[in-house]
Structure 1
Amino acid sequence: MADLADKIEPASAARAVYARVPGAALREALRKMYLVRRFEESAEQAYMRGLIHGTMHLSIGQEASAIGMTMLLTDADYITSTHRGHGHCIGKGADPRRMFAEFFGKETGYCRGRGGSMHIADVSRGNLGANGIVGGGLPIAVGAALSVRKQKRDAVVVCFFGDGANNEGAFHESLNFAAIWKLPVIFVCENNRYGMSMSVERSTAVGHIAQRAAAYAMPGVTVDGNRLGDVLAAAEAAIARARGGQGPTLIECETYRIRGHSRSDRNRYRTREEIEAWGARDPIGIFERELLEAGLIDRAGIEATRAAVEQEIEQGLAFAQESPAPQVSELTRDVYTETQEGAHE
């Protein structure tokens, strides 16, 4: 099995992939990381002001894994997401205006205001949707990859899930099925250290979730999920493997969520020192420094990008607040279909 345990040297792999990726694409990745961060911070503020109801699960601190894994995908490729999936949506090209509208329960949202934070989907961009069920996106991703294989299409599926899902039966069944059929799917575990309040050390026997790939005859790679270059290098190798008909890969992005599990989380299970230590490894700050050192952006460029993102966020909030609410008379629209006789089915 030694040949199946693919090893990527993070620093050298990141340098190599940066050399192959145009500077404009790397600057766009930084812009998207800003956009994810400001989208979630603004959504959180709207929630605290009572403009958004329900709950939400923020991925602040995890931007590098979401953007790094989606950078090389096209609209013909697919993703499945999680309840903590706003970064995945933006990485796959979602419009923040329609995302805000979905949060606000408005007709102009991606799911016409019916899905809210946890269920944004945009099939036109290959985003098959987020999922509130832990591990629920894994078999969906495998089904999509099987469809791609049967149709002989040159597409891949990226399946995001959290560390809590690696102990679900759906995880093991999905990896096994994908390996048997050599399906073009990339399983991406965003290991943010906690499944709700349970630490991964207490819930998972192996030291690295990527080690579980060996049981299913596929490569398993653990990367620093707070360094976009490391994530991008792993994504590049896994996507090439999937497109080449060699089958799936399991990538574990070790990262951290700075906020609690959800808006109701009081954070009593972890220390302030731990949160601050991970906060000092902010993926946005790390990527900014890398681009500055490489001469791919300057301070003026950073400030201009931040200002443009801020304007986009303000416009998105205004769009959502001004959009119409769904009509009660259309409550069952998109739930039932109409037969030729006009009766519901």
Structure 2
Amino acid sequence: MIAMLERMLLIRRVEEQLGDDSLAGRLPGNVHLYIGQEAIAVGVCANLDDDDYITSTHRAHGHFLAKGGSPEALIAEVYGKRTGACSGLGGSMHVADFAKGMLGANAVVGGGIGLAAGAALAAQNAGRSQVAVGFLGDGATSEGILSEVLNIASLWKLPLVLVCESNAYSGISATANVVAGDLVARAAAYGIASLAVDGNEVLAVWDAAREAVARARRGKGATFIDAKSYRLRGHIETEMGFLRSKYRRDEEIAAWALKDPIPALERRLVEDGQVTADQLESLRAGIESSVLAAVEAALAADPPDEAVLAPAIIGME
């Protein structure tokens, strides 16, 4: 539990830093932050090994870090530096770390769903006990690829776990206005083990993912987890620079902030006597120091080599 809290705190602090850097104009592109949803990525990935696979979304920083990716490599990548996870060529929406089984973020809505199914099929064909997890947003459930993957995952009993991060919004549209029906029932209709879970309760997510991963490793097939949560920041950090009005009420955001998964876990650990307030402060201070050091390293790093950039630019022309 303490290790999961530490990872959640790291994700939160990295995202806060990148959010500040984005608004200050220090980043070469925009960022979609994971603040408020940390319990989902951490609760799921705590059940995975380095050789298990995950695929991600455009909101990928939390998945990258939860799977064991380096904060230094992530921050440098978002800054577009050659020391980044993808040598500065991918940016925020295309971070990856194959050594950790993080097969990549994806700017295409629902783009990682099919990749996760392919990874699961590859592991199954190789006779390994690896599991593939595909993270997706509730907006992506309207994409046809989800139906196709649920179908073959059921027929072929793929070692696949699909984790829908239901954060109540698809971009700037309320999910209730653009996504029909019960997502758990939709997946269950394909014969897939399906359940909903409180995505702000890291232990509930961990327990649901533990059972799903164990089922996949035993060759019993796929699971669909609908994790209910909320993103406390905007779709992208600079959205109010081009939106004419707010699409969420301040009262709604404040109500969900009271359900923030990090303070909830901290309170539980203190009440259970597993940590003290001083230990929590020390933990936060260590994370703060490491994140600031990673930013300084990114600022000092060089951009991608021109010899690497030139072929990519020529290919775009």
* Fold shared by both chains (TM-score > 0.5): yes
1:123-163 per-residue CA deviation (whole Å, 9 max, x = no partner) reads 01100000000000001000000000000001101110000
Aligned pairs (5 A) from 1:121-140? 121-140=96-115
Residue 294 (structure 1) shift:
1.9
Question: Alignment RMSD, CA only?
Answer: 1.4
* Equivalent pair of 2:162/2:225 in contact (CA under 8 Å): yes
The residue that corresponds to 1:279 in the other structure is 257
For 1:136-175, list aligned pairs within 5 A: 136-175=111-150
Map Cα deviations across residues 50-76 of structure 1 (whole Å, 9 max, x no partner).
210221101110010010010011101
The offset of 1:171, in angstroms, is: 0.7
Q: What is the aligned partner in structure 1 of residue 37 from structure 2?
A: 62
> CA offset at residue 205 of structure 1?
2.0
Give the Å deviation of 1:220: 1.0
Structure 2: which amino acid aligns with 1:146? L
1:97 to 67, 72, 75: 72
Instruction: Tell me which residue corresponds to 2:13.
Output: 38
Where does structure 1 lack aligned partners over 5 or more consecutive residues?
1-25, 337-345
Deviates more, 1:247-256 or 1:213-222: 213-222
Amino acid at match of 1:238: A
Equivalent residue in structure 2 for 1:226, among 180, 200, 204 = 200
Question: How do 1:172-211 and structure 2 match up within 5 A?
Answer: 172-206=147-181, 208-211=182-185
- TM-score normalised over the length of structure 2: 0.95
Would you say 1:83 and 2:58 are equivalent positions? yes
In 2, Cα distance between equivalents of 1:133 and 1:335: 21
Q: Mind listing any 5+ residue stretches in structure 2 that lack a counterpart? A: none
What is the number of equivalent residue pairs in this alignment? Answer: 310
Cα distance between partner residues in 1 of 2:292 and 2:145: 40
Is 1:250 equivalent to 2:224 in the alignment? yes
- Structure number with bigger Rg: 1
Residues 23 and 237, structure 2, Cα contact 8 Å, conserved in 1: no
List structure 1 segments (4+ residues) > 4 angstroms apart after TM superposition: 332-336
TM-score, normalised by the number of residues in structure 1:
0.87
Correspondence for 2:210: 236
Q: C-alpha distance in 1, partners of 2:308/2:66?
A: 31
- What is the alpha-carbon distance in structure 2 between the residues aligned to residue 244 and residue 114 of structure 1? 38
Give a deviation string over 1:291-311, Cα, whole Å, max 9, x none: 112222111111111011001
Q: After TM superposition, give the deviation of residue 332 of structure 1 in Å.
A: 4.5
Find the aligned partners of 2:312 and 2:175 in 1 and give their Cα distance.
Answer: 39
Q: Distance in 1 between matches of 2:312 and 2:31?
A: 24
Q: Which moved more, 1:295-304 or 1:327-336?
A: 327-336
- Percent sequence identity is 44
Aligned partner of 1:108 in structure 2 is 83
| Deviation sequence 1:154-187 (CA, Å, 0-9, x none) | 1101110000001110111011111110000000
Equivalent-residue separation in structure 1 for 2:44 and 2:309 (angstroms): 36
Letter in 2 for 1:199: A
